[in-house]
Amino acid sequence: MVCSHCAEVLKEKLEENGFRVQKIELGELQLAETLDKAAYKRLVAVVRNNGFDIINDEASQIVERIKHLIIDHIRSGEPLDGNLSDFLSDRILKDYQQLSRLFSAVEGKSIERYFILQKIERAKELIVYGEKTLSEIAYELDYSSQQHFSRQFKKETGLAPSHFKNIKENKRTSIDQL
C-alpha cells in the first residue's frame, strides 16, 4: 500500500470478507486472529483482487520500509538531518551499502533514483495545488537552490517547472507506478 486511502479500502474489503483487522498501515497488516491454510488463501485472494500483494520475505519487507520512510520524509517537508544514507541506516538499523544493494536488486533502481522520483512527484503535486511558489517548493523539498530543483525537474519530466505549471493535461503519476 502506498497511501492511507489504499489502507482504508483494503481494510473495508477484508472486513467484508470476514477478517478482523487489528492494525493496517502503509505496508503492514495485522489481523486479530491466526489463520489456517484455507483462511490464508482467502486472505491472499482478497488482497490480490484489490491490487495489492502480501510480502513475506525479509528483503521485500525492508525495501517497502525504505520506500515508506522516503515517502513519509518527503511529505513531512522537513530537511534531512544529514544525508539520505544516514537517515535510512539509522531507522532500519542496517548498513547503507547493504540496503542499497538490496533495494537495487528488488526494485531495479537505486535508492537515490527512487528518492529523486518521489521528490519530483511531490513537486508536481505542490505545483498543481498552486499554493506555493517554485522557490518555496524547492526549499520544502530540500533542494540547495531553485535552479538545482528546476534542472532536476526538467531532467525527469522534460519540462521546466514553470512550463509544467501552465499545462492543463494530467500531470501526476501514481506513487505505486514510480
Which residues of the chain fall short of a pLDDT of 70?
1-3, 26-27, 56, 168-178
Give, for 58, the enclosing helix (H) or strand (E). Answer: helix 58-76
pLDDT at 81: 84
40-84 residue pLDDT tens? 888 888 888 888 877 767 888 899 899 999 999 999 988 888 899
CA distance 107 to 63: 8
Question: What pLDDT is attached to residue 24?
Answer: 83
Please give the CATH topology (third level) of the domain spanning 114-177: Arc Repressor Mutant, subunit A (1.10.10)
- pLDDT (0 to 100) of residue 176: 65
Amino acid 161: pLDDT: 92
- Distance from C-alpha of 19 to C-alpha of 13, rounded to nearest angstrom: 9
Q: Which residue has the cell 544493494?
A: 101
Structure confidence at residue 178 (pLDDT): 63
**Per-residue pLDDT, 130:** 84
Distance of CA 2 to the CA centre of its chain: 6
Q: What pLDDT, on the 0 to 100 scale, is given for residue 61?
A: 83
**C-alpha to C-alpha distance for 20 and 170, rounded to whole angstroms:** 38
CA distance 41 to 62: 24
